């Protein structure tokens, strides 16, 4: 019986660190066959991403991606609606900074349990701020740019290229041919 794998590695050595990251994930999946859940079954792949560590005091930045097959999150959505109806009737939102609030705190564990029904991948990359250049493209010169970057800072442009590169790697390695992509980012 042929074992199929969820992560299809890039096999693009010219991409340097991205290819090595892809190969590492592939090796981990070979070690643990249940490590990843396929998101190739439905017509639309959904990615939600968020980032942390932008403040100077942090040595690392984090880039987190949730990748799911949109057709298979109905159970989570049903649980989410029930939890909101039961515990957050007044339309409150849960935010990390408000976890000390009684209503928000009481909803955290039920939301986490509901989130466990989402079939997909939650992956966080921690990138040393001393080595962000490994995953970033250089800031384009005026002659190279097809877009007017205006007042974009070099740091913001570099961060955008890291996010795009890692997100594109995930899509390339986990998606099915002709699958639509919906990406929500902060």
Specify burial of residue 11 (Cβ count, 10 A radius: 0-12, 13-18, 19+): exposed
Identify the band that residue 144 occupies on the pLDDT scale cut at 50, 70 and 90.
Answer: low
Q: Count the neighbouring beta carbons within 10 Å of the beta carbon of residue 114.
A: 19
Same-domain pairing of 51 and 131? yes
- Residue spans of beta strands (DSSP E) within the chain: 44-52, 60-69, 120-128, 180-185
Instruction: Please give the model's pTM, rounded to 2 decimal places.
Output: 0.84
Please say whether the dihedral angle defined by the alpha carbons of residues 171, 176, 10 and 32, taken in this order, is positive or negative. Answer: positive
Confidence tier at 184 by pLDDT (50, 70, 90): very high
The conformation of residue 82, written as its DSSP 8-state character, comes to: H
Number of domains comprising the chain:
2
In a domain, 127, yes or no: yes
Q: Are residues 53 and 96 in the same domain?
A: no
Rounded to whole angstroms, how far apart are CA atoms 6 and 19? 16
Q: What backbone phi and psi angles, to 5 degrees, belong to 129? A: -65, -15
Q: What local confidence, expressed as pLDDT, does residue 1 receive?
A: 41
69 lies in the same domain as 90: no
Expressed as residue numbers, the domain containing 185 is 47-73+118-139+157-186
Residues 97 and 180 in one domain: no
Residue 134 falls within a domain, yes or no?
A: yes
Q: State whether 113 and 132 are in the same domain.
A: no
> In this predicted model, which residue has the larger pLDDT, 145 or 110?
110
Mean pLDDT of 154-183: 91
**CA dist 33 → 3, 37, 95 (Å):** 9, 10, 34
Decide if pLDDT at 86 tops 70: yes
Within 10 A of 69 (CB to CB), how many other CB atoms are there?
A: 23
Does any domain span residue 122?
Answer: yes
């Amino acid at each position: 019986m042929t074992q199929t794998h969820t992560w299809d590695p890039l096999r693009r050595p010219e991409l340097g660190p991205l290819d090595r990251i892809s190969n590492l994930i592939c090796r981990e999946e070979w070690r643990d066959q249940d490590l990843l859940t396929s998101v190739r079954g439905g017509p639309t792949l959904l990615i939600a991403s968020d980032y942390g560590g932008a403040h100077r005091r942090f040595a690392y930045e984090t880039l987190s991606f949730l990748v799911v097959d949109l057709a298979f999150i109905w159970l989570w959505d049903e649980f989410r609606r029930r939890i909101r109806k039961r515990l957050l009737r007044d339309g409150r939102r849960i935010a990390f900074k408000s976890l000390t609030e009684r209503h928000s705190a009481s909803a955290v564990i039920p939301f986490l349990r509901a989130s466990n029904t989402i079939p997909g991948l939650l992956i966080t990359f921690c990138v040393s701020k001393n080595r962000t250049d490994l995953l970033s493209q250089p800031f384009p010169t005026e002659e190279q740019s097809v877009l007017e970057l205006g007042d974009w800072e070099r740091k913001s442009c570099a961060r955008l290229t890291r996010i795009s590169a890692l997100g594109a790697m995930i899509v390339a390695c986990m998606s099915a041919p002709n699958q639509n992509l919906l990406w929500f980012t902060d």
